[in-house]
A and B are shown apart, each in its own frame.
Chain A
Amino acid sequence: MGTKRLLRTRKNTPFLQGISKRDTIFIMIEIRNLRKNYGNRPVVSDLSLTVQNGHVFGFLGPNGAGKTTTIKMLVGLVRADSGTIKIDGHEPHETACREHFGFMPEDPYFYDRLTGMEFLKFCGQLFQKSYHKSEREYGEILKLVGIYDARTRRIATYSKGMKQRLGFAQAIVNDPSHVFLDEPLDGLDPIGRREIKGIIKKLHSAGKTIFFNSHVLADVEEICHEIGIIHEGKLVYAGDVKQFCNGRPLEEQFVSTIEKL
């Protein structure tokens, strides 16, 4: 299946109407010919991709396909060997550009000796725009992710699901315009998954661009506008979810696509 790029108009995305006078939504995340090798092993090969303003983009692929490396390059943690990444016209290695990012790594680790509230404040204070947030505002974020009652407990006592929620909280502490999530629904119970999906939908309603990796394809189908599929470092599809599914469940279509490669 060939790579498809979609250029949507504002008419197709009602939540963005009124934001810009231009007819074409300008591209927020633009990846061009990205390559990354670890030693002699290519992890990402000639990846080109665009994600448009205000979309929820699901990045899928089997284990070891290059999803996490790609997301790390998007947030400036890993440098590409060649190719470019532009987010809102800036490279993620520019420190100031990351002022507008939110990132949640896969299976996040924290400073276990801090409390949830202390950690969230620490993260918030690293951004200019959330430096002066009040205790009440941080509390609101913890309420949103459902761990407010545990805010004064040390993180060492948190369950995996609570840590996942705290990871999500720190990713949105600065009210980012771009949110990058690496397996955000991993380790959550069905209630937790529903809540986090609800927050992702709210972020989308607020016009945020969300890029996330996930293995939970039913959830991807539910919340994403577009998907990208990567296999052995190469992009095999990018485009509309429904178009890709072609009337079949996403999981079925995904497995059949990967097996054909």
Chain B
Amino acid sequence: MKNIFVIAKNTFRAAIRDRILHGIVVFAILFILFTLFLGSISLGEDLMVIRSIGLAGIYLFGMIITIFLASSLISLEIERRTLYLILSKPVSTSELIVGKFVGLFAAIILITVSMTAVYLGMVWYKGGGFDFGALIAVVLQLFEAGLFVAITALFSTFAAPFAAAIYGILVLYAGHSLSILLQYVQYRGAALKIAVNVVYYIVPNLEKFNIRNAIVHHLLPTPGMVVISGLYAVLYTIVLLYLAKHLLGKKDL
């Protein structure tokens, strides 16, 4: 447990000092602030525009940052051979994977919370009060980000950072489109239906974490739905991290 904390602290510290990341965060905050202007040129729909584009901005930039940080989680350590310095010490591969995951996820939480604070401030400033629904949307987004970090951590145990990012983006895209595709193939051939069903159950259903449209229209999810989505993300993440640990353990460094 001690080693997980030490590795997480180090990963967090190294992640938040990345200058490219600082640039993306500044741009993200400017983008969210820009929705004030977009709201002002809409026809009496200021809050709707701010909430809709603001939440989309938090998601978009949150995922860009997640992809940017997570794709190099393990592969860069192998490429730069920093893993030699860690795994030659009394550290297990499980501690390494979990520590790196926790540190990176903590950095993503910090950045997402910062963007959300700017967003909440703007909604409050425009008279929308405290946007509780947006908080739930962001919590679900963080579940998705955690799951995505675990997916990319798995890819980065055997692929280069760029390749891991591409694979991660493909899973992200598939995870949001498969439920629509599944509806589409209902009336197609049986083989296609089976194939899509198999992929549907392997690839995580990321639409479970997308409640942004509902929130913009003041529709709150039930607590049960939030808990189930959270458990789904946690279980999926645990399985993926276990696989990542297994693959890294098999690898000759």
Contacts and interface: CB of A to CB of B under 8 A. Distances in A.
Is A bound to B?
yes
Interface of A: 38, 72, 75-79, 95-99, 101, 103, 105, 108-111, 113-114, 118, 122-123, 125-128, 131, 167, 170, 174, 180
Contacts of A126: 3, 6-7, 86, 89-91
Contact of B18 (A105, A113, A174): A113
Contacts of A131: 2
B91 A95 contact: yes
Nearest to A125: B6
Contacts of B253: 72, 77-78
Interface size class on chain B is 20 to 34
B13 interface: yes
A123 B85 contact: yes
> Could you say which of B9, B84, B86, B88 has the most chain A C-beta atoms within 10 Å of its C-beta?
B88
B14 A111 contact: yes
Contact of B88 (A98, A111, A113, A128): A98
Contacts of A122: 6, 9-10
Contacts, number: 77
B81 A105 contact: yes
Given A95-B90, A126-B3, A114 B85 contact: no
Nearest to B15: A113
Contacts of A72: 84, 253
29 contacts: A38-B252, A72-B253, A77-B84, A77-B87, A77-B253, A78-B252, A78-B253, A95-B90, A95-B92, A96-B90, A101-B89, A103-B88, A105-B81, A108-B81, A108-B85, A110-B82, A111-B82, A113-B14, A113-B17, A114-B10, A118-B10, A118-B13, A122-B9, A122-B10, A126-B91, A127-B90, A131-B2, A170-B85, A174-B89
A53 to B, nearest CB: 21
Contacts of B82: 109-111
A220 B17 CA distance: 41
Contacts of A167: 85
A125 B8 CA distance: 12
Interface class of chain A by DSSP: loop
B76 to A, nearest CB: 10
A77 B88 contact: yes
Contacts of B14: 111, 113-114
Contacts of A38: 252
B188 interface: no
Contacts of A76: 87-88
A200 to B, nearest CB: 18
Contacts of B10: 111, 114, 118, 122
A127 B18 CA distance: 27
Given A118-B13, A122-B6, A170-B85, A109 B90 contact: no
A78 B81 CA distance: 13
Given A78-B253, A125-B6, A109 B88 contact: no
Interface in B70-118: 80-82, 84-92
A108 B252 CA distance: 17
Contacts of B252: 38, 77-79
Given A103-B88, A109-B81, A122-B10, 17 more contacts: A38-B252, A95-B90, A95-B92, A98-B88, A98-B90, A98-B91, A105-B88, A111-B14, A113-B14, A114-B13, A118-B13, A122-B6, A123-B85, A123-B89, A126-B7, A126-B86, A126-B90
Contacts of B3: 126
Nearest to B93: A95
Contacts of A125: 2, 6
Contacts of A97: 90
Nearest to A36: B252
Contacts of A103: 84-85, 88-89
Nearest to B2: A131
The 6 lowest CB-CB distance pairs between A and B, nearest first, are A103-B88, A113-B17, A109-B80, A105-B84, A75-B88, A125-B6
> Could you say which of A109, A127, A131 has the most chain B C-beta atoms within 10 Å of its C-beta?
A109
Contacts of A99: 90
A98 B89 contact: yes
Interface string B44-79: 000000000000000000000000000000000000
